[in-house]
Amino acid sequence: MRYVSTRGQAASRSFSDVLLAGLAEDGGLFMPEAWPQFTAKDWRAMRGLPYPELAARVIAPFTEGSISQDTLLTLAREAYARFDHAAIVPLTQVEDGLFVQELFHGPTLAFKDMAMQLLGRLFDHVLTERDEHVTIVGATSGDTGSAAIEACRGRDRLSVVILHPEGRTSEVQRRQMTTVPDANITNLAVRGTFDDCQDLVKGMFSDLPFRRDMRLSAVNSINWARIAAQIPYYIYAALSLGAPDREVSFAVPTGNFGNILAAWATRQMGLPVRHLCVGSNRNDILTRFLNANDMTMHEVIPSLSPSMDIQVSSNFERLLFELLGRDHAVCARIMTGFRTTGHMDVPDKTWQAARTLFSGLALDDVATTSEIRKLWKESGYLADPHSAIGIAAGRAAREPGIPMVAMATAHPAKFPDAMKTATGIHPALPPALADLFDRTERYQVVDNSLPDIENTIRSATLRNSH
């Protein structure tokens, strides 16, 4: 399997090279040259497989020529051994035709563990084979950072630097990152928004001398390996509910568009996906696009669902590339114009193509609190703010006879204040994190300045690699 850039000016690469590169040199995102195809017979043969075996089977075509399926299986078994539910990604029915798939049973209580626990092991495997060291940089709006840190902490071949927006994550989210003492971990609190943090990461990758000197790699969902590792749980849910002999729909609380892109990818691979619904908070750029072709950046407003406080959804570029018939020149022009003007000029035909499969629903904080309360009272289900938005989106988009699966992306204990307000319940952290608020924090507050942050990272990487 080879990978190409959405902007067409970077050389094609193998999976291992894409894993280590993260972002393409032309500023684009890597995509598989062709989508693996599974037949109905193939899908049926996967029913009932333990989750690690299913994951290895599904991901194997994407790593072909780089990592064998046997190696993938070994790494997947290790990655998911730490999850605290035997099913790894259990399904719960909350209403007639409406199901919730819980993705938060990993070590940091968020769906990012589903990919990160495997990604850390993939990095280790490839870097050991090549006898190399890389510096991983990532931006987080709350959950990516802690999942990346937990997956990569203590690994000799990885230095990890995570940027988060100062004061714009929950305290649990921040402490999960900043209380990890391993020497290869550096946390930077940026005076700005998540979009600022994401722009800084992209700026580092565009600074080719810095990128080369630091051997930069990425753990954000700009790294294709993240998307590949998220595809299996959609397949697990669909097969559990009757696919390929029955269509299924998905609703996903969405910020950077990576999680729902993985759901869309399963359709490209032959799974009968009927509909995909984007759940947004008050930072509703994706819902505005789907409803009115209005992809215009607004100010990022803090909300009860901080992981979705985003106005630049990086992975949308991958969908745009496909909807444009893989015309990399048009894709590059549209994306460059978006960053220049703050408005994405999507052709009407392309927008209409997106609307044939996608819809969007946005909830503000008041509506989110109401949805959390409604779920608890009517179904006895405790959903964090992100998951509640996804469930509401799924309810709005469900069709008779088509099971709708909403993604529960974070444990409610990560957002205790919101849960207390909505339900009167203060959910407890699991035993492994019970002392989180007693642990010592370790992070630096930095200005939104690319040169200053590059110097900080250079110093940290030199310190960590000795």
Q: Are 24 and 30 in contact (CB under 8 A)?
A: yes
Structure tokens, 50: 């333990």
Q: Are 17 and 8 in contact (CB under 8 A)?
A: no
Give the 3-state secondary structure percentages of the chain, helix then strand then coil, rounded to 5: 50, 15, 35
Q: Which of 112, 374, 414, 420 is catalytic?
A: 112
Residue closest to 120 by CA, chosen among 155, 146, 88: 155
Sign of CA dihedral 187, 191, 195, 199: negative
Structure tokens, 319: 């969908």
Residue closest to 385 by CA, chosen among 433, 431, 428, 417: 417
| Rounded Cα gap, residues 451 and 425, in angstroms | 45
- How many C-beta atoms surround the C-beta of residue 448 within 10 A? 17
| Rounded Cα gap, residues 191 and 200, in angstroms | 12
Active site residue 349: no
* Exposed / middle / buried, residue 341 (Cβ in 10 Å: 0-12, 13-18, 19+): exposed
Q: Which residues contact 424 (CB under 8 A, 6 or more apart)?
A: none
Q: Are 339 and 7 in contact (CB under 8 A)?
A: no
DSSP codes joined into one string, 300-343 = ----S-GGG--S--TTHHHHHHHHTTS-HHHHHHHHHHHHHHSE
Residue closest to 372 by CA, chosen among 418, 427, 404: 418
| Rounded Cα gap, residues 187 and 160, in angstroms | 8
Residue closest to 256 by CA, chosen among 194, 299, 298: 194
Q: Are 89 and 104 in contact (CB under 8 A)?
A: no
Q: Are 381 and 375 in contact (CB under 8 A)?
A: yes
Residues marked active site are found at 112
